[in-house]
Structures are given as C-alpha cells and as structure tokens.
A and B are shown apart, each in its own frame.
Chain A
Amino acid sequence: MSTPTPPTKPPLLEVRNLSLSFHQQEQVAIDRVSFSITAGSTLGLVGASGAGKSSIARAIMRLIKPDSGEILFKGKNIFMMNSQQMMATRQRMQLVFQEPFTSLSPRRTIEQSLLEPLQHFAIGDTNSRQEKTRQIIQTVGLDHDVLRRYPHQLSSGQQQRIAIARALITSPDLLIADEAVASLDVSIQAQIIQLIQSLQEELGITLLFISHDLAVIRQIANDVAVMYQGQLLEQSPADTFFSKPNHPYSKTLLSFTNNKAPTSLPVENWRLDRGRTTAETTSNCVFARSCQVKMPICDQLEPASHQIQYRNQHPLGPHYVKCHLYEEVNTNDT
C-alpha cells in the first residue's frame, strides 16, 4: 500500500520556482515553489486556507498564468506548448474541486456533464461515449439512473462522485484534488477517500491532493509538502513527516490535529489565514512572526531550503526544510 516509489522513476509533474502574485489585491499567492510528483504516487499539499494551495492547482491546470517559473508535465514545459500539445496535455490532467454543488453545471444533466470532455477531446463515437459514461458511473459507485438527473437532485456525496467521474472520464494521468473532501460530512468524506484510494490502486493515477486537514493527508499521501503564505516550508515522505516533522510550522500544524491547542497564543497572532502582500519584504522567514522558536536571524535573512541528510535511515525520498534551525544540523542525524 505504501510502497515507496523507486527514486529512479521520472517525475510525472515537476514544478520549478513557480511564483505568482495577484496584482489587484497586491497579494503574493505563490512564492518560488518547487516540487515534483513521481508517476503513480500521491503528494499531499497541506496548509491553511489562503496559503496558495489552490493557486498552484490552477497554475498547473493553466487556468491562471504565473509570473515566473516552469511547470513540466512528462518532462515538457506546459507554458511552451502549442495549442495542439496543450489540448493533448489537458486531456491527461484533471481537477476535482471543493464544492461539489458548484462544480457541476446546474442546467445540464449529469450525462451531458460527463459527455462534454469526451466530445471536446473527440474521444470515441456516440455509442462508445455513452458506454463510457455508464462505465465511469459504475466505477464511482453510482447507478445509471443518475445520468438523467440534474445536480440539484443529488446529494453532496453523489455530486462529488460525479465530479470525480467527470475528471476521470478522459483517463488522465494526473488528478488534482483541491480540498475535494473539505466541505463534506465526515461519513461522506470517508466514502470519497475510500473511492479515491481504490481508484488510484485500480488506475495507477498520480494524485496531487490538496487539503488543510492533516488527518486526510495522512490517509492518502505518500509525500507531504507544507505550504505557508505562498512558500513551501517542508517537503518529505509522509511517514517521515508524521513521525518527525522538522519545521516549526509543521509541528504547530500537527499539534493542532492532536487536539492540543495552545491557549497562550493571543488571537491576533493567528495570522494563519492571512495572505502576504507584495509590499511586505521577503528578506525574512515568512513564518518568523508566528514562530515560537524564532531566532534573531529569522527576521533578517530568508532561510534556504535544506535537504536533511539521514545517516542511518534509508530515506524514502528527499526531505527538505526551509528553516534556519536546520542549517547547522544539516549533516547530523536529526
């Protein structure tokens, strides 16, 4: 189940130095973010709301244009593709959204919604398309009779299954789930997690799973990347992350999930869900203001992303931390 993918496998998706600011709100959404996902594995992107997770998803889907950086899909930069190549690439990656109800066109039947990608990419003929919708409906665990219904006639769990079905109908290689279970009840959330897990096993699909909920990430991800105010602060294999988180922010996040909230923190200091404006300097560590183990240097110098070296353990994958604390202990066995 958690078999680590051999490091020799080429990444399906690689994001290099991606940056994006929303000029109207003067807000930094993504700040020099780099990561890669190996084919067939799952990267859990975690962070508070407003940390820039969704912006990354939308940049990968080419729904928004980043200021700089590269996104490589199967080794090819998607910003350098011509329209034909882009069309082919779009077919290979799909997105599932947070709100199941608003992610389906309200005045189109489920069947019309499912057929649309097939028609657009000109996959198969009319009969095979209809066959395919029936198949996919079964794959996501629904009955054929939902095909004729409208989104508002379905429950939120069913709607989310349809949204997943629509994403899967073109048999993509990469599925991006942007808070896909966040607005669902725990019981339905569990069903959808189950579904995604079994689909991944069946189809060998690569997954970028975005969530603010570490417990959900724990269920699904092989690797974890922690995002804060547009930057990636820590990146590591999930097993390492959950047994030994390194970055102070990761530790804070994990402490919250264990239901131990520090009461000492004054309310105004929860800047967890506030963005950073372009005017704010980037010459310090972004987390410095809320960090409980802050050192003088944190206010002056932005830390680089260090790879943690493990002496004894065999690493499941590289482990990066963007924190001054780990500069000295770089070579030690942490």
Chain B
Amino acid sequence: MSCHALKVNDLSVWFETDSGRRQVVDHISFSINAGESTGLVGESGCGKTMTALAILGLLPTSGVGVSAASIEINGKDISSLNAAQRRAVLGRDIAMIFQQPGTALDPVFTIGHQISAVYRRHFGGSKKHLWQIMLDSLEAVGFSRAEKIASAYPHQLSGGMRQLAMIAMATVCNPVVIIADESTTALDNSTKSLILKQLERLQLQHKTAILLISHDLAMVRQSCRNVLVMYCGRLLERTDCQSLYSHAQHPYSAGLLSCIPQVSANRPPRISAIPGQVPSATDLPSGCHFAPRCIRVKPQCQQSVPHFDSEDDRAVACFRPLS
C-alpha cells in the first residue's frame, strides 16, 4: 500500500447550483506507482481537471463540494490537511503543470526568480545555493544556457520554452507526484514531443509519479505506461497503454482511439468519430453515462451502472465490453 506514490480513494466533486447538485467527479479511485506515468484521458468536460484540482485541494470553497476517503502521497493522507499544511505540501510533494504557460508564469518576475521562490518557500537556503539549484533545474529540462533563461522574463520566451520553464519550476523541489494538465495541448507537435521527452527523462532520474491529463490519446500513448479513461466524472477503463491501443475494451476508449488522425504514406481511411457530445452535468443519462452515444448499447446499459473494479490492474465499466 505504501508503494503508491499517489493513491486516490473514492474522490467525488460536485457543484452546488440553484438547480441542485451537479456531480462532476463521481467516486473515483486510482493509484500511481513511483516512477510511473498514468494518463487520464477523456473529452473536455469529463471532470479531468476537476480531479486534478481536487487532488491538490485548489478548488474554490464556495459552491463546490469535495469528498474523498483518502488522497495519499507516499502513504500520507493529504485530504484532511488544513490550508496551511496543504501549502507546505504543494510544490514540495506534489506539483502541477498548467495548460497555459503564458498565464501560469508571473510576467513581472524573471524565470529564475520564480523558480527559486518555489524552492525557497519549502527549503530555504542561501541566495547562492538557491541560484545554483535553480540553474540545475533549468539545465535538467534541457536548457544549455540556463543563466540566460533564468534572467529572462516570461514574455521573452516562446511558448515551448515557457512550458519547459514551468516544468523546471515544478521539478525544482523533486516532488513525489507531478500533475500535468493538458500541459502540451497549446503547443506544436514538434515542441510537444520534445517537452514530453524531457519530462520522461526527469521522471526516470527522480522516480517521480506523473498524472498526465489530456484529451489526446496519441500523446498519452507516447509517454504513459498506464491509462485511465474518464467520462462524465466516472472512470470507464483502466489498463496499460499497450493493451488499450491493441484492444481497447470499453466502446468509449475504442471510439476515442478511432478519432486520432494518422500520418501515413498512403491516404488513410476516412476518420471515424463518436457521434453526439458529452452530456452536461445537469442532465446526465441514467445507467451508463455513455449509453446514448454507444454503438454497442443494450437495454441494461440505460438502467444500471456497470461495476468498475477499483482494485484490479485492468478494469472496465461496461456490460458489453469489446474483447
């Protein structure tokens, strides 16, 4: 049990609205081992970001409800911490890389200042020591002239370089867990690949656990060992990446896979898409939430919720899984 770098147990998030409760994360449980990457995939509005924010405890307190049996980092429960205790954990044990590197960095401070501020907050140290630590972290993400980058302001860097600086900031304290929320979505393919490579390298070095949130299965495949498929706040499938790509079990996972356009020398067949769209959290269909869009739907799907085994390595919440 203690071998899990991150273990989330029975996490739920909901919004309190005038028209009642809107469940956005619905009793999910998962765990990530040290040194492993897990992808959390699903369409926008499936509760991926809410899951991340709930783990970090960054959700606003008014209008939003969060409950969890436990959220453990290296066996230590962080779900019951108060605000001050949580701040001590954020950045040191668990760090987040956001989607927009442009807005996640403060434009009035240099990159170096912002990175060393994170380290100083948790470990302190002399100015010289901080500076060295900061340079090391910049070099670790692949900058060969770290000093120059350190003295630059965010707007002087390109989007890709800013995102790397964000990664340097997230890794400066050697956290146990990094959550990357769509952190390469806004970038070009080429930059995206390079950044994922750097993240992978860091992970190997420091045995960090990474939760990679994305709607892009192609990217998750590139850099994750395990994958969780999420839809309307529920986990639908958990498996390792290889088997997901060779034979996805849940029709939703299969549908997501078929959406990815492929580059090939010969003209590829017409792309196929999942019909319909994600239902809004205010009127979720009963039974399996995916049933109305599913091609393999049967009457049972609309009446009862398929069981999702939270202990097994491979699990699928479906009455008629593909095999």
Contacts and interface: CB of A to CB of B under 8 A. Distances in A.
B217 interface: yes
Contacts of A263: 194, 197, 201
Nearest to B143: A267
A274 interface: yes
A270 B273 contact: no
Contact of A242 (B221, B260, B263): B263
B93 to A, nearest CB: 27
Contacts of A48: 188, 190
Interface residues of A, number: 47
A214 B190 contact: no
B263 A272 contact: no
A273 interface: yes
A72 B168 CA distance: 49
A267 B189 contact: no
B300 interface: no
A236 to B, nearest CB: 13
B234 interface: no
A185 B49 CA distance: 14
Interface stretch (B118-126, B156-164, B310-318): B156-164
A185 B267 contact: no
Contact of B190 (A157, A190, A253): A253
B191 A270 contact: yes
Interface in B153-196: 158-161, 164, 188-194, 196
Interface string B13-53: 00000000000000000000000000000011100000000
B267 A215 contact: no
A193 B261 contact: yes
Nearest to A261: B193
B263 A258 contact: yes
A238 B268 CA distance: 11
Interface residues of B, number: 50
A218 interface: yes
Contact of A273 (B44, B142, B159): B159
A242 B265 CA distance: 5
A212 interface: yes
Contact of B222 (A155, A213, A239, A259): A259
B144 A266 contact: yes
Contacts of B196: 261
Interface in A42-57: 48-49
B188 A215 contact: no
B259 A239 contact: no
A77 to B, nearest CB: 34
B193 A238 contact: no
B188 A272 contact: yes
| Chain B contact residues, majority secondary structure | loop
A163 to B, nearest CB: 16
A257 B44 contact: no
A12 interface: no
Interface string A272-293: 1110000000000000000000
A253 B190 CA distance: 7
A17 B142 CA distance: 39
Interface string B265-277: 1111011111101
Q: Which of A216, A243, A273 has the most CB of B within 10 A?
A: A273
B128 interface: no
A91 B44 CA distance: 35
Contacts, number: 137
A186 interface: yes
B292 interface: no
B194 to A, nearest CB: 5
Nearest to B273: A190
B261 A219 contact: yes
Nearest to B193: A261
Interface string B185-220: 000111111101100010000000000000111100
Interface string B237-275: 000000000000000000110111111111110111111
Given A158-B277, A187-B43, A214 B159 contact: no
Contacts of B261: 189-190, 193, 213, 215-216, 218-219
B217 A267 contact: no
Nearest to A259: B222
A75 to B, nearest CB: 30
Contact of B160 (A187, A253, A273): A273
A267 B259 CA distance: 31
B278 interface: yes
Contact of A268 (B144, B189, B262, B263): B144
Contact of B274 (A187, A193, A238): A187
Interface in A169-221: 185-191, 193-194, 197, 212-216, 218-219
Contacts of A157: 277
A260 B223 CA distance: 11
A219 B268 contact: yes
B194 A270 contact: yes
Nearest to B265: A243
B265 A186 contact: no
B145 interface: yes
Contact of A215 (B44, B142, B262, B278): B262
A243 B265 CA distance: 4
Interface string A152-169: 000111100000000000
B188 A186 contact: no
Closest 4 CB pairs of A and B: A261-B193, A190-B259, A190-B273, A243-B265
Interface of B: 43-45, 141-145, 158-161, 164, 188-194, 196-197, 201, 215-218, 221-222, 255-256, 258-268, 270-275, 277-278
11 contacts: A49-B188, A187-B215, A187-B274, A214-B263, A218-B268, A267-B142, A268-B143, A268-B144, A270-B158, A270-B160, A270-B161
Given A186-B217, A239-B267, 7 more contacts: A155-B277, A186-B256, A189-B259, A218-B264, A267-B194, A268-B143, A272-B190
